[in-house]
Structure 1
Amino acid sequence: MTTHRPGEDAYLAAYDAGAFPPFALTVDLNIFTIRDGVLTALLIERGDHPFKGFWALPGGHVEHGRESADEAAVRELSEETGLDWTRLGGHLEQVATYTDPDRDPRIRAGLHVASVAYVALAPNLPSPTAGTDAARARFWPVEDLDLDAQRAAWHDRRAYRGDAPALAYDHALILSDALERVRAKLEYSTLAAQFVTEPFTLADLRRVYQAVWGYAPDLANFRRKVLKTPGFVVPTEEYRPAASDRGGAPPLLYLRGTAQWINPPFVRDRAG
């Protein structure tokens, strides 16, 4: 393509791209969903080197010259979950970029690999199918991954020796950062509604906080904050049938609203 900036075409024609060491860009996906009331993350068991046999975040290389990191994330999401995320409407956001030279052993072969990490949230994601470069794929409860110890092992550049599945690369660091992003955003945003299938009850929504934070917020305060935040939830005219004959009014069903922020926010108890 010819530019309209004088001299630039000649500069590019003479430019030596090989003057710099090889550099690769990947995307890593922190795909969270709640299964049986437990917050889980999708991991794959690597079927090839590097880190063969380790568990890792799904993801892959950005196709050079053909797509952006955001486009690669959507493509990888569809490939890893079997769902069209452009139509599903699940939540997707960028977390951070990771560029530590030691994060990928291929640096010893001369390739510096950086990764752009994303968080993806959706309710009731199906059981995954391992791709061509994976031995297995499954949702792991985040509480079973011993992330604090694995993250510390990565920072100290030592092997993790605990009972949880060992994570590849710097994925314990990435997953920890993504998990804290989700936990923090539940304080000041309406992100929790992305974890529930519509229509839902307020009890369904409160159970999201239970799964993500490890405890449920005070019931009265929770109902007041949700219902007084314009556009957090939208009431329907339907009720969920009572599960028993214990009496009481059946719960009202809601849809997600268009609001994004909660003000004032929930105050999370870090101790849980």
Structure 2
Amino acid sequence: MQEYPGQKRILVAVDCIIFGFDGVNVKLLLVKRSLVPERGNWSLMGGFINPSESPEDAANRVLEERTGLKNVYMEQFQVFGNPERDPVERTLSIAYFALIDIHQYEKQLSAENNPEWFLLDDMPEMVFDHAEMVNLAKRELRYKAALHPILFQLLPEKFTIPQLQALYEGVYQTEFDDRNFSRKLLSTGLLVKLAEKDKQSSKKGAFYYRLDQTNYKDNINSFLNLVPNPDKFL
């Protein structure tokens, strides 16, 4: 095999940052690291890219091997390349993040590597630079969610406005005014009100809604003002 002269080996890995929503809280999925150093400590789902793989194929393989999750849409958002980030060998990491409905995927989750969901404001210490990866992924998520309704990826097909508000409050880790949030949300033209109510949270109940896919493209920018002063969260 021909090689470039005078070049040293650099490993390339992928790390998967999985955000989930359980209907009440936004959470982060972590696993126990299986390699030395820091074996047994909390980690993102990471692994090295095989010579025959694309980064996307590697990310999907690593996620399934570490957690059992598959067919999860993941978005590449940054390369982490500090020369000191891995104490063993010089390693670049291509980071991906995903948004999932926890209940939709809970049956896929394997117990083999002890995957566990953590609240965003109660995350444990993580190996290497994984905390930095998560913080930058949160910033990216907040930026995109302030512009477009991407957080619907975390919801079931039908949902209530209180559920959607809880989701936004979890992502931005703040509280929104109930009336203003509801008014702005309904003004987007992206929700279809259903006749059915969720009566588990209160006697009166809250109407279910669904995303109006037919008007999605025309009104995709209508979420621009849903989050007040989004810059302060970035």
Shift of the alpha carbon at 1:130?
4.8
Residue from 88, 93, 98 that aligns with 1:115: 93
Give the SS at the match of 2:136: helix
Write the mapping of 1:1-272 to structure 2, written as runs, cut at 5 A. 15-17=2-4, 19-35=6-22, 37-64=24-51, 66-85=52-71, 90-107=72-89, 112-124=90-102, 125-126=105-106, 128-131=109-112, 134=113, 136-145=114-123, 165-230=124-189, 232-233=190-191, 235=192, 237-243=194-200, 246-247=203-204, 250-255=206-211, 257=213, 258-259=216-217, 260-261=220-221, 262-264=223-225, 266-268=227-229, 270=232
CA distance in 1, matches of 2:42, 2:169: 26
- Residues 200 and 255, structure 1, Cα contact 8 Å, conserved in 2: no
Q: TM-score, normalised to structure 2's length? A: 0.82
Deviation by residue 1:145-187 (Cα, 9 ceiling, x = unmatched): 2xxxxxxxxxxxxxxxxxxx33111111111111222223221
Deviation by residue 1:111-131 (Cα, 9 ceiling, x = unmatched): x21001111111124274355
Q: TM-score, normalised to structure 1's length? A: 0.72
The structure having more radius of gyration, on CA atoms, is 1
- Residues 229 and 263, structure 1, Cα contact 8 Å, conserved in 2: no
Shift of the alpha carbon at 1:102?
0.3
One-letter identity of the residue aligned with 2:24: G
Structure 1 runs not aligned, ≥5 long: 1-12, 146-164
One-letter identity of the residue aligned with 2:197: R
Shift of the alpha carbon at 1:79?
3.3
CA distance in 1, matches of 2:92, 2:64: 22
Give the % identical residues. Answer: 27
- Residues 28 and 57, structure 1, Cα contact 8 Å, conserved in 2: yes
RMSD after superposition: 2.7
Relative contact order (alpha carbons < 8 A, sep ≥ 6): 1 or 2 greater? 2
CA distance in 2, matches of 1:241, 1:130: 32
